[in-house]
Amino acid sequence: MSSALALQSTLAVDAPALIALLCALVACGTLGNFLVLRKEAMTGDAVAHAVLPGLVAGFLITGTRSITAMFVGAACAGIASILLANWARRTTRLEPGATLGIVFTGLFAVGVLLLETQGARQVDLDPECVLFGSLETLFYSPTLNGAWYTGVPRALWTLAAAACIALIAIVLFMKELSLLAFDPSSARHLGVAPRWLERLFLALVSASIVASFEAVGSVLVIGIVACPALIAAPHARSVTHQITLSMILGSIIAVLGYALASHAPTLFGTATALNSAGMIALVLAIAVPMSHVAKRFIHRPM
């Protein structure tokens, strides 16, 4: 009986967080492969910083802290940051990284200005939640005599939908997105990957990041957009192989990071468990150079 209760407790506490983590990894990581191939991995960083003015604008327009209003506002701000960066890149001679840095810094500053001047401090944004998300607060708690789905956290439904949409988009447009990543000029000239598809891709990236933002926070969002693809890239033989490998390796490493954070008192002698999002981002970051070093041994000619 005690083991059954322990298992039930573990599922109630850890399962929602792990499922949310893996859904966020799929939603952001699959699309992140194409950002890495396009050398635009910093796009995730830009969107993660740019959501602040969208969150504040959602509150100012509706007058409430409605989740829907906040999500729509953040999504619009994320898409705007990408479009502004692309426009700045085309109209100036600045490198892509510079334009992204200017755009997301400017939008983040606009968000802070709105907070200070428009009385929007009532939005009650928690800096720790913005940075590290809320994985530790996701619990499965069904209501009495209710269906099983009544206890599933709302963030998990959002992430599951984002993951499904990302996977469907990858399946439908794999050839076009691959060509757009390797040779965008030829793709547009041949009409294989028109501008509407590029805008759709950037909108999906923004939506996936915003959907993941609440649960995993900005620090881990940046990590799961770029790190799984960077880990898989040295060992990939094709785009499809890279995406598959990035999801497998990324999931294993993310779960390892979650376990390390949860068992920190035993492993590291800390007083309490460590923040899950921070530990997962750290483990993913460490795995990137390790993967490139491992390539020398795995693919060494006999």
Greater model confidence, 273 or 233: 233
pLDDT value of position 129 = 59
Contact residues for 263 (Cβ-Cβ < 8 A; gap 6+) = 273
| Residue pLDDT, tens place only, 9-25 | 555 668 888 999 999 99
Selected from 1.10.3470.10, 3.90.1150.110, 2.40.30.10, 2.60.40.1930, the CATH number assigned to the domain covering 2-139+151-295 reads 1.10.3470.10
Three-state DSSP string of 201-250: HHHHHHHHHHHHHHHHHHHHHHHHHHHHHHHHHHHCCCHHHHHHHHHHHH
Q: Which two tokens stand for residue 54?
A: 């969208």
> How do the domains of the chain map onto residue ranges?
2-139+151-295
pLDDT value of position 66 = 64
| Residue pLDDT, tens place only, 44-93 | 777 777 777 887 787 777 776 666 776 778 778 877 877 787 788 788 87
CB hemisphere CA count around 28 (13 angstroms): 36
d(CA 114, CA 137) in angstroms, rounded, equals: 29
d(CA 230, CA 242) in angstroms, rounded, equals: 9
Specify the pTM: 0.83
Position 289 confidence tier, pLDDT thresholds 50, 70, 90:
very high
Least confident of 5-14, 55-64, 137-146, 282-291: 5-14
| Cα angle, residue 201 at apex, residues 198 and 202 outer, rounded to 5° | 90
Specify the DSSP class assigned to residue 271. S
Q: Cβ distance 106 to 53 under 8 Å? A: no
What's the chain's average pLDDT?
80
